[in-house]
Every structure is written in C-alpha cells, then in structure tokens.
Amino acid sequence: MKIYGTALCALLLGSLVLARQDTTPIEPMDQTPVFRVNVVARTTKAVNYRHRGGSTMVDLKGTSLMPQATGKAKVDSKAGRLEIGIDVARLGPAGKFGAQYLTYVLWAVTPEGRSVNLGEVVPNSDGKNSLDVTTDLQAFGLVITAEPYFAVTRPSNLVVVENIVRQETKGFEESIDARFEMLEGGQYTIDVPAAQLPSTSSAATTPLDLLEARNAVAIAKAAGAADYAADSLKKSQEFLDRAEDYLKRKQGRTPIGTAARGATQMAEDARILTLEKKEQERIAAEKRATEERRAKAEADAKAAAEAEASARAQSEEDVRKREQAEKARLEAEVAQARADAARAAALEDQQKAQAEAEKQRSAAEEAIRQKEEMRARLLKQLNQVLETKDTDRGLVVSMPDVLFDSGQYTLKPAARERLARISGIILAYPDLKLQIEGYTDILGSDEFNQKLSEKRAASVRDYLIDANVPLDNISARGLGKANPIADNKTSAGRKLNRRVEMIVSGDVIGNVVGTGNGTANPPAYKPASQSSQ
C-alpha cells in the first residue's frame, strides 16, 4: 500500500476483474434463455474510503452500453456506516437490452469480488434519478446494471454506469485483483417459453413495480420454484394477484407498489431457494453415482481377489505335496542349520549391542558439545545487545532501568530497538524458553513495587510476542524489591536493582529455567560484612 501526502489520503485504484461486456440479443424463437451464469471480467476503479473521514466525491460515467449516461456520487463516511448519495442523468430505458430488463440497480462491489445490492435506480422521463443509501462496506466500486427486477442478488453483465475516481477523491491506494460472478439475467440456464414471459403491451399504463413483479414471478416459476419452494412462490403469487387487483380497481401507486415489491422480493427468495435445492440434489446425485461406482469397483476387486486366492491355494497345495516327500531328509539338516544360526545371531547381537552403546556414548558427547557451542554463541550474540551472564539458571539478559521512564512501565524507543534485536536472535534458536522477571529497588510501597515490576515484565513479554516469539515459550512475573543485586542504600545500587531480567534457557542449550544446579532465583545482594568475601 502506498499513501501519498500527509493530509490527504490517496486514491485507491484497483482492478475489479469483471470481464468484457457482451450483450446477448433477444432471439425471436419459442424458447428464450432468460437466466444464464457468466463469470466475466472488467476493469474499473474502487476506493477504500477513510473511516469517519468525512465526505468525498467520485464521478459516474456511462459504459459502452450507454455512453451518454453521466452522474456523480457523494460518499460520506460516518461511524459504523457510509452514506452514499448519487445523481445520474441521461439513462435510457432498460428495455433496450431485452424485454426482461425493466429497471436499474446500484451495486457496491468489494475488492474481494462480493457484490451488494444498494437499491433500485428508476430514471424519470429525462433519464435522471437521485438515490440516497447506506452501506457497512469500507472499500468498494460503484456500478449500475440493467436488471429484470429490483430484488436481484447478483449483478447482470449489463453494466451501464461505473464510478470514475477523481484526482481529489479521498481514500487509500491499494491493488485490487478480484473475480466475481456477474449474471446474464440471473443464475443458470432456464428456458422460458415465450408465452410464459410477462406481457409488456400495457407497460405505458402499468406501474414499473408491477412489471418487475410479473417478471420476478415468471422467472421463479421457470426456475422450478413450484416444485422446490412452493410456499414462497405461492406467497409471491398472492402478492402479485393483490397488486393486479389494486391496478384494476385503480387503488393508486402506493398500495400497488407495496404489494408488487413484496411479490418481487418473495419471488427472488423462492428462486434462490430453488437453485440451492437443485444444487443440493445435483451434489447428492453425484455422491450416489460415486458411491455406486465405488461399490462396483469393490465388488469387481473382491471377485478378482477371490479368483487369485483360489489359484494361489491350489499352487500352494502342489508345493506342499512335493515338499512333504523330502521333509524327513531335511529335518536333520534344518535343525543343525538353526543351531548354527542361533549361535551366529547371538554373537551378532552382542556385537551390535556393543556398537550401539559406543554410538550412543559418542552421540551423547557430540550433543553436549553442540549444546555448549550453541550456548556460547548465543551468549556472545546476546551480549552484543544487552549485558548477558551465563548462570546455572540459563543465560540472564539484564535490561537496566534507563530503558523505562521513571516509575513507568512503557518501553522507551531504545528499549524497543534492543528488544527487536533480541527477538531476532531468539527466533534463530528454536525451542528456547524465556522467563521475564521484573525487579525494583526498596523505595515506595511493596504494593507499588510489585505492580510496577509485573507491568515492566509484561511490557517486555508483550513486545517479544508481537515480534513473533512463540507465546508458549515465554512467561513473565514481577518480583518487586526481592533479590537485589546491589546495595539499596545508594542511588547507584538502587539503579542497578531496578531492572528486568530475561532468563533464556532450554534443553537446546543445556538447561531449563529453574532446573539447573542453582536456585530458581538469582542470588540476592549481601552487604560486605555478610558475604563470603
């Protein structure tokens, strides 16, 4: 991702792989294919709009299918949603693409290829329309397609308008390379007799909502909804009949539109449910066919195996009869051979045992040598970043107090830099274990010192985990003012006592935290009068 400028987020240009638009002319024949799957590709632009970044504009421009179309879209990013307002002009009638195309739909298409129906675009007599919608998507391109009705769930390949990103459009630039299904009028191939297509002879006096409802119900029936989604199809037909009755009784656009749009939505649900059930049937049929083929193959294999077993049994019987005649003569020789073999095997086993013992001893010595070399190499590498000591607890890496703000547990930049280098070293040695221990001086209350030591240790642990050190290999604890390594009576001593220690251990370098010859904690500081010196 590239971001241009500091105040203005850059444009997101990408490829929404949607393919070339081919229109299939309506052929004057008895069987007209109404719905057909097409995976098509097309190049357009999309924007990843800034979250709560205010409003921005993109232009809308007609494609080769409707080059005269123009418009613009305002996108306003709010908390939890994006508000989209579009204005389009010079949209021609959708029917120019075929009798089944009655309306237009506005789509948002994500970089991953998911398409979302944002709403119906119904131009007036001048080809103009305005639409205000919302979406929870963040990154998308806008297209307008010709459709048979408003409730479709996939866009057709008749893209008549697409967004054009302006130079000043606010957003993030990223590469988009996605494929998604655009449908030539819908999904799958469904042949609908011409007599079943809804009549458009009265289109001038019939509300568009009712024309779309007729289309939707006819297409659902052609898809087979009567057999697979009878209840939903029945409800959609009842809504359509109610709308037709409202039209006859001249009840007005509101009741007609309400019933018609309900019919359209219910018919689309019935069509989708039908397609899903048909797909389930297809999968089940394929599964049955596969099982039948498998059963036949197993039966054939079983018959062949039985025939082979029978032939093998006869052959074995013939061999047994021949060998039986020589059995008496061979028994003595076999017994002697077995005795010789047993003595030879015993001698060989003894030699193998001695060789294996020597091999294991050499391997153990080599393993110890490799661990010692790895431990020395790791100690040297860690010492180049932070002071590190080799102890019976493991390699103890000490982080001084200066890498934290006074009384705080937030890592300073210098600490982060060193921990980044430490994490790089640790990741090169698989199976290492890290125990992070935080310590303080004696100033302050025990409770404050305990919490501060825990938080400092946790900060180091969290940073290393973020740097990909495995979570299971790292632990942290705070020990407060325990285990001082210097005299707390002086500022220099207290400074040394304020520290975070990383105990690096593991079988790979010869020991594990808390299991060496020493104790689980470092030796505490003792005044000169109490020490062995």
What would the pLDDT profile of 192-244 be if each residue is shown by its tens digit?
554 555 655 556 678 888 888 898 899 889 889 899 989 888 888 998 998 88
Look at residue 346 in the predicted model and tell me its pLDDT. 80
Q: What is the C-alpha separation between 40 and 19, in angstroms, rounded?
A: 4
The pLDDT of 15-30, averaged and rounded, is 36
Predicted confidence band at 506 (pLDDT cuts at 50, 70, 90)? confident
Q: What is the C-alpha separation between 178 and 112, in angstroms, rounded?
A: 5
Say which residue, 43 or 35, is predicted with more confidence.
43
Predicted confidence band at 524 (pLDDT cuts at 50, 70, 90)? low
The pLDDT of 417-446, averaged and rounded, is 89
Q: What is the C-alpha separation between 436 and 504, in angstroms, rounded?
A: 9
Radius of gyration over every alpha carbon of the chain, rounded to an integer in angstroms? 40
- Give yes or no for a contact between 127 and 24, defined as CB atoms under 8 angstroms apart: no
How many beta carbons lie within 10 A of that of residue 412, not counting itself? 13
Predicted confidence band at 45 (pLDDT cuts at 50, 70, 90)? confident
Measure Cα distances from 381 to 127, 386, 422, 464, 467 in Å.
Answer: 73, 9, 9, 17, 18
Lowest mean pLDDT among 114-118, 196-200, 322-326, 366-370: 196-200
Predicted confidence band at 434 (pLDDT cuts at 50, 70, 90)? very high
pTM higher than 0.75, yes or no? Answer: no
CATH of domain 384-509: 3.30.1330.60
Mean of pLDDT over the chain? 80
The pLDDT of 149-173, averaged and rounded, is 84
Look at residue 389 in the predicted model and tell me its pLDDT. 92
How many beta carbons lie within 10 A of that of residue 340, not counting itself? 10
Where does CATH 2.60.40 sit in the chain?
Answer: 15-190
Q: Is the dihedral of CA 164, 170, 171, 174 positive or negative?
A: positive
- Give yes or no for a contact between 260 and 209, defined as CB atoms under 8 angstroms apart: yes
Intra-chain end-to-end CA distance of the chain, in Å:
63
- Give yes or no for a contact between 484 and 497, defined as CB atoms under 8 angstroms apart: yes
Q: What is the C-alpha separation between 187 and 206, in angstroms, rounded?
A: 27
Predicted confidence band at 263 (pLDDT cuts at 50, 70, 90)? confident
The pLDDT of 433-440, averaged and rounded, is 92
Residues 6+ apart with CB under 8 A from 300: none
Tokens at residue 435, please?
Answer: 């125990």
Half-sphere exposure of 303 (CA within 13 A, CB side): 5
Predicted confidence band at 525 (pLDDT cuts at 50, 70, 90)? low
In the numeric block, the tokens 């011409």 are attached to 194
Q: What is the C-alpha separation between 259 and 10, in angstroms, rounded?
A: 46
The pLDDT of 147-173, averaged and rounded, is 85
Lowest mean pLDDT among 184-188, 341-345, 386-390, 468-472: 184-188
| DSSP collapsed to 3 states, 31-61 | EEEEEEEECCCCCCCCEECCCCCEEEEEEEE
Fold designation for 15-190: Immunoglobulin-like (2.60.40)
Predicted confidence band at 44 (pLDDT cuts at 50, 70, 90)? low
Predicted confidence band at 356 (pLDDT cuts at 50, 70, 90)? confident
Burial class (CB in 10 A: 0-12, 13-18, 19+), 165: buried
Look at residue 65 in the predicted model and tell me its pLDDT. 93
- pLDDT tops 60 at residue 16: no
β 129-135/81-89 pair status: antiparallel
The beta strands (E) that lie in 136-250 are given as: 139-147, 159-165, 177-179, 182-184, 190-193
**Chain mean position to CA 399:** 38
Where does CATH 3.30.1330.60 sit in the chain?
Answer: 384-509
Look at residue 41 in the predicted model and tell me its pLDDT. 52
Look at residue 43 in the predicted model and tell me its pLDDT. 60
Buried b (16+ CB within 10 A) or exposed e, 127-161: bebebeeeeebbbbbbbbbbbbbbbbebbbbbbbb
Tokens at residue 223, please?
Answer: 């898809």
Look at residue 169 in the predicted model and tell me its pLDDT. 79
- The pLDDT tens digits of the residues spanning 71-111 come to 999 998 888 888 999 999 999 999 888 888 899 999 998 87
